[in-house]
Amino acid sequence: MTAQVSSKGTSSKDATQNEVLAEVRNHIGHLTLNRPAGLNAITLDMVRHLQRQLDAWALDPHVHAVVLRGAGEKAFCAGGDIRSLYDSFKNSDTLHEDFFVEEYALDLAIHHYCKPVLALMDGFVLGGGMGLVQGADLRVVTEKSRLAMPEVAIGYFPDVGGSHFLPRVPGELGIYLGVSGMQIRAADALYCGLADWYLESDRLGTLDEQLDQLEWHETPLKDLQGLLAKLAVQQLPAPPLAALRPAIDHFFALPDVPSIVEQLREVTVADSHEWATTTADLLESRSPLAMGVTLEMLRRGRHLSLEDCFALELHLDRQWFERGDLIEGVRALLIDKDKKPRWNPPTLQALDAEHVASFFTGFDQSGS
């Protein structure tokens, strides 16, 4: 999910067809998220359309690979259509429950897809957008890419498989990204292993042309890798997180979020004092409960299978609309826009470890 607001969705079949464009060219299935005015935020109808199309192409011997992209100049996908989920909960509907079950199933299907998936991550890739791309075999970023799991900003936790892919980022970098909600650019995305290739945005058209002319020789994945190797690079110089890595690894390995913030203010690691102070200020603006649950979730996720990570996220989802800070966060940031969320608890000092732990009760017993 994400902190981005989107335009109102529509449930008419024709409109939904237009919100996900699908075509096959040169044995490649191209899927385009087509809600550029809403930064391609995904609705339940779009999730279902994507799933149906991927299922069909999986069985089609004419299709060798799949390309995922977003329409417009600004975003691949800025996440889930959070406003519709808020309205569903407020109206005592079930859309918000159905959405997570089906969105996670789609994300998991991409992770296990039987044909190579190439994700073109141009512009914003936030929340649910990250869920779509992190299971892809080939993840391409550009100079316009902005990747984040920003859920804590609206009182939520990084879902869509974030409990699996974030803790597997080197060191404590993924913990930092999940607990802070910070955005990163292309160099850091490659450094963190959240992307595989870098290509300038204005060369995406060239990539498309060469995909249309690609001669299939070996396995489809090797053919695609060979094409990317001619156009793109796999590393960029001076990723900012590399310089901050010693500080991040120190602070974000501490036992809990209150300790992290306290140490960020009191201890200097290398030349990171300004970053540490800014980060402490940022964390103190976030939902204490969301950060506390996120930290625990990510640390558990380090030792769970992908399937169990999605199960853990659903376990949290089923409680979060009632017990978490999401509804208040959406109200303050997207509905009333007063930007003064009344978090519960209001401060990190008031965050109770047992309260955090209670969200995980029952998951250990069920196993998944």
Q: What is the CA radius of gyration of the chain?
A: 20
In degrees rounded to 5, what are phi and psi of residue 312?
Answer: -65, -45
Does residue 80 have an active-site annotation?
yes
- The one catalytic residue among 45, 151, 223, 308: 151
Cis check: omega of the bond before 158, within 30 degrees of 0: no
Q: Identify whether the C-beta of residue 120 lies closer than 8 Å to the C-beta of residue 138.
A: no
Q: Is 310 exposed, middle or buried, given 0-12, 13-18 or 19+ CB atoms closer than 10 A? A: buried
- The one catalytic residue among 29, 79, 128, 301: 128
- The one catalytic residue among 19, 159, 196, 308: 159
Sheet of 117-121: strand order equals 20-25, 28-33, 65-70, 117-121, 138-141, 197-198
Closest CA to 2 of 74, 65, 81, 55: 81
Closest CA to 328 of 317, 316, 339: 339
Local structure of residue 41 (DSSP, 8 states): P
- The one catalytic residue among 29, 79, 80, 301: 80
Three-class DSSP category at 23: strand
Integer CA distances (angstroms), 278 to 150, 213, 249, 264, 306, in order: 17, 49, 17, 9, 33
Angstrom distance (rounded) from CA 172 to CA 166: 9
Does residue 200 have an active-site annotation?
no
Does residue 151 have an active-site annotation?
yes
Does residue 172 have an active-site annotation?
no
Angstrom distance (rounded) from CA 84 to CA 288: 25
Residues tagged active-site: 80, 128, 151, 159
